[in-house]
């Protein structure tokens, strides 16, 4: 099963097995990782599952939709070029080893 590493804003790392087809957001919620809020449950109506993707892994992540780009305007923490909504990062075998950094705040 692909492994995803979540890095908290204090630097703590947690690596979790996330099944293929499950989003990086849902993987965090199901494993009790604080730092992902996911208010709308993955409907792209909020931006509280914001993560920063490890820069050199950006190319492996699925393309950003216009809707995701629009909704990223609502991030509570600074939006950067590697900002993503983790509900849109659906895990595939290619995403094994993905590292995402959790922002300081989601709201």
Point out which residues bind other proteins (CB under 8 A): 22, 26, 29-32, 39-45, 66-67, 70-71, 73-74, 107
Shortest approach of other proteins to residue 55 CB, angstroms?
25
51 alpha carbon, distance to own chain's centre? 4
32 vs 93 by CB, closer to other proteins: 32
56 vs 66 by CB, closer to other proteins: 66
14 vs 57 by CB, closer to other proteins: 14
């Amino acid at each position: 099963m692909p492994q995803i590493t979540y890095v908290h804003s204090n630097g703590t790392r947690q690596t979790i097995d996330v099944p293929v087809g499950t989003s990086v957001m849902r993987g965090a919620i199901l494993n009790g990782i604080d730092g992902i809020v996911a208010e709308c449950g993955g409907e792209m109506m909020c931006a509280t599952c914001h993560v920063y993707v490890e820069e050199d892994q950006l190319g492996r992540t699925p393309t950003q939709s216009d809707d995701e780009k629009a909704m990223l305007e609502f991030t509570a923490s600074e939006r950067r070029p590697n900002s993503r909504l983790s509900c849109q990062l659906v895990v595939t075998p290619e995403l094994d080893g993905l590292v995402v950094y959790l922002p300081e705040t989601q709201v």
